[in-house]
A and B are shown apart, each in its own frame.
Chain A
Amino acid sequence: MYYHTPNTSQFVMFIRRFRAAVIALFILFSIGIFAFIKPELISSDTFFWLSESKQFEKTTQQEYTATYVGRLSIKTAVFDETTKLQLQSLQTELEHQVGVEQVESLFATHMVFNDQTSEESAIVKALPIGSLSAPKMVTFVRAFPEPYTQFVNDDFSEFHFFLHSQNPIQIDKMNIPFEHRYSEPVVEAQLGHYLWYVGVIVLVIVVMSRILFRNYIAAFGAISVTILTLIWTFSIMYLLSGSNQIHIAMSLMVVSISIGHYLYFYYRWHVSQFKSDSNRALEKSINRNLHPAVWTLPVLILSLGSLLFADSKIVTMLSLSLMVSSAVAYIINIVFLPALLSFFSVKYPRIGFARICYWFANREIHYNPKILKGFMILTAVILLSIVTRLAISPDGFFDKHVSQNTITLKVPFEEIDLETLQKIETFEHELRKYNKGIEKVDSVVTILKRLDMANKPQTSFDEQRLLQALFFLELYDLKQAYIDKDALKISITLHNTDQSAVIRWLEEYKGLPIYFTDIESLSESSKMDKTLLLAFSSLSALLMIGLIMGIIFRSAKIGFVGFVANAIPIIWFILFMMVCDFELSIEALIAMTISVGLTSDTIIHFGYKYFRSRYFGRTRKHALEIMFFYSGVPAITSAVVLMSVFALLTLTQLQSLQLIGAYGAILMFISLLSDLFILPILLLAVDKNSEQELITRS
């Protein structure tokens, strides 16, 4: 129970006696398992999601290759003959990049027209539009803009090139003589990304160590503990799952948990040296944190345990990262860390910043119950509206709004006949009817109709007209862009719409056998499968945390506090997402899962300190001061450190890491506010024991 103080003096003495051996053992063992497992960093976010995509499996079974679709936007001051030639050269250069299969742009399109000298003497022609002079190009495109709108704007100042490639293209290595922007949704992580990621974490830890603790010991300890936690966690996960692949999100979870745990142990050792020597401080660090730290384990395991049985390796690995790292960090902090810290003592044990704790305690002891009640009612109303919206339109909740995007599909065929064309036309019609923001659907039907209409037909569309259009398609070598060996290519351009809704509609469409062939849609479809699962698991995790906390503290009220304190940041974060019209993406849910892990730790440490102090007869105010001093400071520090790390991650080029970073930083900020302003008041609210009763018991 929280009022027991475990006797750890023998244990600490043992660790101090064999400290060199303990450190050596940990380091050698870690090097050994690291060499044995050879963890493999997943360089592409895409492979992580594609490995479980049902749509990707379907596409590869059909032996279709999936491609990356990137958009290069070029801005030009003026469009003249020189600019035209430069853009044409760029088109050729892009086409010759390794792995590029197709480059769609104005300079790859054809001008389809009826070349005639009289009514009797005429032929359908399809000339590359680039063969026209610059002024004629402008005139032609303005006269017939429809096929070219996605490639150039009205005043010919912005051109778009769509690159379909087997690998992500490194546009920054090309020499493009124009102002340009390249938007490729998925890129592979380079060594630079990892170095940036590691550099950010190390920098933030060192800065924190210098500012808060005025030494480098805290940084040295944090980095050592984090490295060991990472190695041990992924080794255990390898033994459990047989997979040595590590996604950057998994490592982020481990780092967060490790730093969160570490700070409670280190901080106690640091501040205890104000009154005691470093050895006694070491003992306090262990015996004051042993219980609350161990309680975080069942909370995490039971709350996220259900995710282990999810039919998804990705979700299992993510939840396993949190659970295993929590257990590993615990062992490292009670065995390795004391051995390491026993070599040091601190010069400045005083933490000036800790004074703020007394301010918080003084203010919050006189909380206004009416305001608390009002806040709780407001939060409940928000929760109710979220649940209602989730029940009415669960899909709409996870919208993925895109300003401009391309979905590419393949449809197997045996023969291009009237029936096939009719099916594609019906598909296009229904796609536009049931989905918003479909800017353009480009398929073999589009080009065949253009060729047919250029022939100025006088009869209704029949087989002969189709055969003639197919003839011209072959004659002008336009087939490659629309027809593969045994599949028709369909390209859908989206504009300001919910991409996930379109993908869902396409997945459920029965009129044609559809295969997604662009990596982003395939990866998005896989993420969509996991989103709902992770959302419901996070919700059930909140309930479980409340239940377990109730059991630990033997109080239903504290169980309720556990649930509410964890739920408040999530509820307000979802409200923030709704207000800002951000979709509840898988990245947001990963950030939520990390936050649940960290907040549950904070609640346990706060609850432990507060009720322990109350048990030993401290007044409510004094208990609050002790809670803030011993648990509040490490909680604030870890939140600030992780907020900084997550915020700096938004500067990377990996999109999913950017999103996890942004959402994580916001969520941690909301959690910190809740931990500082709401959680202590909730603890005061459920603590109805009179001062006298506690004094008598003590």
Chain B
Amino acid sequence: MIYTIKPISSFLLVLLSLWCFIAIKAEGKDLSTKKMVALLEPIEQHAIQYGEGDIKVYVFIDPKCPHSRDFISMIFENQKMRTIYRYHIYFYELKRFNSHFLIGAIYSAPSPLQRMLEVMVGKKEITSAQNSDVKIEEKIDDIKRVAEQIGVSKRPYLIVAKEWD
């Protein structure tokens, strides 16, 4: 009896493990975008919003990074890309560019979007204060925390959310 039950139970165990693995893998894949969006939603008020489209794109950039500048310039020049997508832009410093105070200066401007375009598209040099507002520092820290949780590794870093997200 035991010789019959043992292989069957082992087989069932293998099947169960396999099912769990597939289920977890599927769940994980599904959660990936959703989870990132869930992490980003609480800091949406920190984002500079650009564009009127239905699809949200969360973008992490550094104002001094040449490729981030390229990216913003392309969005700026491409009206269609602003009607399809709505960009939530977060400044997340790359240490080697030492752009912390420039980020603070952009956030503290009356229109951060306008200032960002002046700096990144118009290549305007602005003088940045050596110490920022506490609220802006908190904002920068919040963004940094979420970026680390997501694993933002480069700039620009894109997360495209589906329309229903």
A116 touches B67 (CB 8 A): yes
A464 touches B67 (CB 8 A): no
Q: Which of B29, B66, B78 contacts A463 (CB 8 A)?
A: B29
Given contacts A121-B68, A122-B67, A475-B78, contact A464 B84 (CB under 8 A): no
Indicate the size class of the contact surface on chain A: 10 to 19
- List of A residues within 8 angstroms of B62 by Cβ: 121
A467 touches B162 (CB 8 A): yes
**Complexed CA–CA distance, A467 and B36 (Å):** 14
A121 touches B66 (CB 8 A): yes
A467 touches B74 (CB 8 A): no
**Does any Cβ of A come within 8 Å of B160's Cβ?**
yes
B67 touches A463 (CB 8 A): no
A475 touches B74 (CB 8 A): yes
A117 touches B66 (CB 8 A): yes
**Complexed CA–CA distance, A123 and B155 (Å):** 8
A462 CB to nearest B CB, Å? 5
Q: Which A103-126 residues sit within 8 Å CB-CB of chain B?
A: 115-123
Given contacts A467-B160, A471-B160, A475-B74, contact A115 B67 (CB under 8 A): yes
**Does any Cβ of A come within 8 Å of B76's Cβ?**
no
**Complexed CA–CA distance, A450 and B50 (Å):** 28
A123 touches B70 (CB 8 A): yes
Given contacts A464-B159, A467-B160, contact A119 B33 (CB under 8 A): no
Given contacts A115-B67, A467-B33, contact A120 B160 (CB under 8 A): no
**Does any Cβ of A come within 8 Å of B91's Cβ?**
no
**Does any Cβ of A come within 8 Å of B71's Cβ?**
yes
A121 touches B67 (CB 8 A): yes
**Does any Cβ of A come within 8 Å of B146's Cβ?**
no
**Does any Cβ of B come within 8 Å of A93's Cβ?**
no
**Complexed CA–CA distance, A462 and B29 (Å):** 7
**Complexed CA–CA distance, A22 and B161 (Å):** 86
B57 touches A471 (CB 8 A): yes
**Complexed CA–CA distance, A123 and B84 (Å):** 20
- List of B residues within 8 angstroms of A81 by Cβ: none
A464 touches B32 (CB 8 A): yes
B119 CB to nearest A CB, Å? 16
Q: Which A392-448 residues sit within 8 Å CB-CB of chain B?
A: none
**Does any Cβ of B come within 8 Å of A385's Cβ?**
no
**Complexed CA–CA distance, A474 and B81 (Å):** 7
The proximity string for A residues 261-277 relative to B, scoring 1 for CB distances below 8 Å and 0 otherwise, is 00000000000000000
Q: Which of B65, B156, B160 contacts A464 (CB 8 A)?
A: B160
**Complexed CA–CA distance, A115 and B74 (Å):** 14
**Does any Cβ of B come within 8 Å of A131's Cβ?**
no
Given contacts A122-B154, A464-B32, A474-B81, contact A117 B67 (CB under 8 A): yes
**Does any Cβ of A come within 8 Å of B94's Cβ?**
yes
**Does any Cβ of B come within 8 Å of A133's Cβ?**
no
Given contacts A115-B67, A462-B29, A471-B85, contact A120 B155 (CB under 8 A): yes
Q: Which B89-116 residues sit within 8 Å CB-CB of chain A?
A: 94, 96
The proximity string for B residues 58-86 relative to A, scoring 1 for CB distances below 8 Å and 0 otherwise, is 00001001111011001000101100110
Given contacts A121-B62, A123-B70, contact A463 B158 (CB under 8 A): no
**Complexed CA–CA distance, A116 and B153 (Å):** 13
**Does any Cβ of B come within 8 Å of A468's Cβ?**
yes
- List of B residues within 8 angstroms of A468 by Cβ: 158, 160
B123 CB to nearest A CB, Å? 17
- List of B residues within 8 angstroms of A123 by Cβ: 67-68, 70-71, 156
- List of B residues within 8 angstroms of A462 by Cβ: 29, 32-33
B153 touches A120 (CB 8 A): yes
- List of B residues within 8 angstroms of A463 by Cβ: 29-30, 32-33, 162
> Residue of B at shortest CB range from A115?
B67
**Complexed CA–CA distance, A481 and B76 (Å):** 24
The proximity string for B residues 124-165 relative to A, scoring 1 for CB distances below 8 Å and 0 otherwise, is 000000000000000000000000000001111011111000
A118 touches B96 (CB 8 A): yes
- List of A residues within 8 angstroms of B84 by Cβ: 474
- List of B residues within 8 angstroms of A121 by Cβ: 62, 65-68, 94, 154-155
B66 touches A464 (CB 8 A): no
**Complexed CA–CA distance, A470 and B30 (Å):** 18
Looking at B32, B67, B153, B156, which has the most chain A CB atoms within 10 Å of its CB?
B67
A413 CB to nearest B CB, Å? 16
- List of A residues within 8 angstroms of B80 by Cβ: 474
**Complexed CA–CA distance, A462 and B33 (Å):** 9
Looking at A115, A118, A470, which has the most chain B CB atoms within 10 Å of its CB?
A118
- List of B residues within 8 angstroms of A464 by Cβ: 32-33, 36, 159-160
- List of B residues within 8 angstroms of A118 by Cβ: 96
**Complexed CA–CA distance, A462 and B27 (Å):** 12
**Complexed CA–CA distance, A192 and B71 (Å):** 56
> Residue of B at shortest CB range from A418?
B29
**Complexed CA–CA distance, A117 and B68 (Å):** 11
- List of A residues within 8 angstroms of B81 by Cβ: 474-475
**Complexed CA–CA distance, A471 and B71 (Å):** 12
- List of A residues within 8 angstroms of B68 by Cβ: 121, 123
**Complexed CA–CA distance, A642 and B56 (Å):** 72
**Complexed CA–CA distance, A406 and B132 (Å):** 62
**Complexed CA–CA distance, A119 and B94 (Å):** 11
The proximity string for A residues 117-149 relative to B, scoring 1 for CB distances below 8 Å and 0 otherwise, is 111111100000000000000000000000000
B153 touches A471 (CB 8 A): no
- List of B residues within 8 angstroms of A119 by Cβ: 153-154
The proximity string for B residues 20-44 relative to A, scoring 1 for CB distances below 8 Å and 0 otherwise, is 0000000001101100100000000
- List of A residues within 8 angstroms of B160 by Cβ: 464, 467-468, 470-471
**Complexed CA–CA distance, A474 and B84 (Å):** 9
- List of B residues within 8 angstroms of A474 by Cβ: 80-81, 84
**Complexed CA–CA distance, A121 and B154 (Å):** 5
**Complexed CA–CA distance, A657 and B104 (Å):** 76
**Complexed CA–CA distance, A118 and B67 (Å):** 10
> Residue of A at shortest CB range from B62?
A121
A-B contact pairs, 8 of them (CB 8 A): A119-B154, A120-B96, A121-B62, A121-B66, A121-B154, A462-B33, A463-B33, A464-B32
Q: Which 3 A-B pairs have the closest CB atoms?
A: A467-B160, A123-B67, A121-B65
Known contacts A462-B29, A462-B33, A468-B158; 10 additional CB pairs below 8 A are A121-B62, A121-B67, A121-B154, A122-B67, A463-B32, A463-B162, A464-B33, A468-B160, A471-B160, A475-B78
